Chain A
Amino acid sequence: MSGYILGISAYYHDSSAALVRDGEVIAAAQEERFTRVKHDPRFPRNAINYCLEAAFIEAEDLRAVVFYDDTLLTLDRVLKTTLATAPRGRDNWRKAARSLLGIKVHAARRIRDYLQVPVPVLFTRHHDAHMASAFYPSPFDEAAILTLDGVGEWATTNLGHGVDGAIRILEQIDFPHSLGLLYSAFTVFCGFKVNSGEYKLMGLAPYGTPRYADLIRRELIDIREDGSFRLNMRHFGYLDTLCMTGDAFEKLFGGPALPPDGRITRREMDLAASIQQVTEEVVLACAKHLRRLTGSRNLVMAGGVALNCVANGRLLRSGLFENLWIQPAAGDAGGALGAALLAAHRHFGLPRAPRPSGQSDRQRASLLGPSFSEAEIHAFLDINQLPFTHLPDPGQRAALIADHLAAGKVVGFFNGPMEFGPRALGGRSILGDPRNPETQTVMNLKIKQRESFRPFAPAVLESACGTWFELDRASPYMLLVADVRAERRLPITKTSADTDDLLEVVRQPRSDIPAVTHMDYSARVQTVNPADNPEFHRVISAFEARTGVGVVVNTSFNVRGEPIVCSPKDAYRCFMRTDMDLLVMGSYVLCKKGQPERQAERARQERFAPD
């Protein structure tokens, strides 16, 4: 019997829903995109509605709903942690009991109440869902599987092997010993937010020197040759307090944590470099061990740590595995997809769906979210009496965007389905000129409303990737970091060792595509091909035709503190809140000049939350 299976991830962070049919991925979306609350952990009613609508089905058409967590095992872990730390830990217990006993234990009833059908509701373990999300959508029939994150029930690290429809777990590491939690502890300690600041910490690392790495290895984490590890819990607060670190941690690193939005100092740069080095070391050792265990040439990854694209790039260059595929929604959102796929193959015994024609994997370029028809976009513009130009010819449209980019303008690009996962891949993107040394500062200040030490990511024509970067394969999900080719680099005259002002260092051109080149000449590469995203490919090709550069700056279509835009309304609002010059939605083009003053005034009154 065939059928639709709905996966749900909720009540941790990044709630989401995903729909599969006969093992084929149909739709997936994060709840935050609809509610406009970043990392929204609530029941994903909007994402569920979207998934059902995308497939033109009703809830009664669902064969099963799968929740991506085994609440009983999570309760087991929380109780044992509370018992191990009592009488301390009362605050943690209060928060956990409300979430687990008040909400998650009742998840099956909540799901059936919402859908109003007596559908079977299944539960899978958190890391099983991550493993499934890594293996089933990948291009491989057989692969080693590595998942690393903060924590699910007990597991924080899983090593496994996938063959056809079957997944086997080989080894695991359990809470409280977690590479994800270790990285998050440093994220908070360096003044960033947990769950979103890890990417910034990774971006800060190249400015520092890993002078704390030995101290981390000696005092915080004991790493064995096979990549297995244990943390020294004396230094961490998360067992019995609502803080990641404790006094011992502060003492170890010479003082208290940097407050949120505090001025980054040499200590934070060096801490970032140090924890990044240790993280890469663990990931590589785990992968090496997994290669020995499975003998596989292919590796697939998921879990929050798999979003560390610097570690991924190093793993690729190590040559331990010939092929590497990483789930683009590697964090908890992707758990919904993994849960649904696991039920399809493991519970219902369905074979894996064939790879869609012309596509490199079964993830459909991760363009799995809502799309809006030309009629819907036109209706939005019409109802709001917004001035626009209609450019139905794709070639003309791409040429216009390329002209604007080449002239130093910043373009909002709202194109087709929304991405599933944290990265904008040309569905909901803001584009800029990578050649311009001012692009990084201008886009940061005028669009993202903050100065940043992180360069933007390049979207490069897949066929031209080797011309610009030292990368010999596709990277469609912006999950691999590679170096800009040596002949394109410029000497860096000022490093973070010469000045305490990070921005002085940031503003130096580092290559002939400075806006996308990091301090260490690395770049977070996204390759674009015509099969995955023809419209985006056309734009980059047009830019190449104008400038000789088949690369554009690609950053997510949002402002700080806000999720990536979903609808035309979100996109227009973001366009008006920022100094973006042009907005292209489908075949409709809007110039900032000429937009109604009332919209501009409304936008000016909105405030930005810290991200």
Chain B
Amino acid sequence: MSDHEQRIDRFFDRHLLPLVNVLEAAGVRHFPAGADPGVESYYRAPDDPAPALKTIEPTELAADLTALWATADPALLPLVEPLAELAMDLREEETEATLSPFIYVMF
């Protein structure tokens, strides 16, 4: 396992797994996993109806994530600093040239 993979795994164990229990206890659900007979439509109104352009700088990552989660998802705020640190640790120059034939690339 590479150094980067070890850091990513460590983040998963130290920061994500403990948060899972906290979120579960608080009844937080980030998305529905199936049909809901109680609603007429599955469309939702956009957060911002006008297309938006912004800047994203790695040095501003912590501030940007704080702004993103402060109101809507305060339970995620403990992840901000560790994520910003991880982003600095993981910086790479390039990604793989080929794609998996088995899964749609989602990130």
Contacts and interface: CB of A to CB of B under 8 A. Distances in A.
Interface in B80-101: 83, 86-87, 90-101
A90 B12 contact: yes
Contact of A177 (B42, B83, B101): B42
A264 B80 CA distance: 49
B33 to A, nearest CB: 4
B25 interface: no
Given A105-B87, A128-B52, A37 B97 contact: yes
Interface in B52-105: 52-58, 61, 64-65, 68-69, 76, 79, 83, 86-87, 90-105
A405 B42 CA distance: 52
Interface size class of A (residues with CB under 8 A): 35 or more
Closest A-B pairs by Cβ, 9 of them = A128-B51, A228-B42, A222-B35, A102-B90, A171-B43, A80-B30, A96-B107, A193-B101, A101-B87
B104 A150 contact: yes
B41 A94 contact: no
A228 B43 contact: yes
Given A71-B56, A171-B46, A172-B44, 11 more contacts: A41-B96, A72-B64, A101-B90, A102-B4, A106-B87, A122-B54, A123-B53, A177-B42, A195-B104, A226-B43, A238-B104
B64 A242 contact: no
Given A78-B107, A122-B55, A93 B8 contact: yes
Nearest to B85: A101
B34 interface: yes
A243 B102 contact: yes
Interface stretch (A272-280, A322-330, A339-347, A588-596): A339-347
A98 interface: yes
A42 B97 contact: yes
Interface size class of B (residues with CB under 8 A): 35 or more
Given A37-B98, A194-B101, A228-B43, A83 B30 contact: yes
Chain A facing B: main interface SS = mixed
Given A41-B99, A41-B105, A42-B97, A66 B53 contact: yes
Interface in B16-40: 16-17, 19-20, 23, 29-36, 40
Interface in A4-40: 11-13, 35, 37, 39-40
From A42, A79, A158, A181, name the one whose CB has the most chain B CB atoms within 10 angstroms: A79
Nearest to B37: A222
Contacts of A96: 106-107
Among the interface residues A99, A232, A346, which one has the most CB atoms of the partner chain B within 10 A?
A99
A104 B92 CA distance: 9
A109 B57 CA distance: 8
B83 to A, nearest CB: 7
A41 B94 CA distance: 10
A120 interface: yes
A175 B107 CA distance: 12
B49 A83 contact: no
A43 B79 CA distance: 28
B107 A99 contact: yes
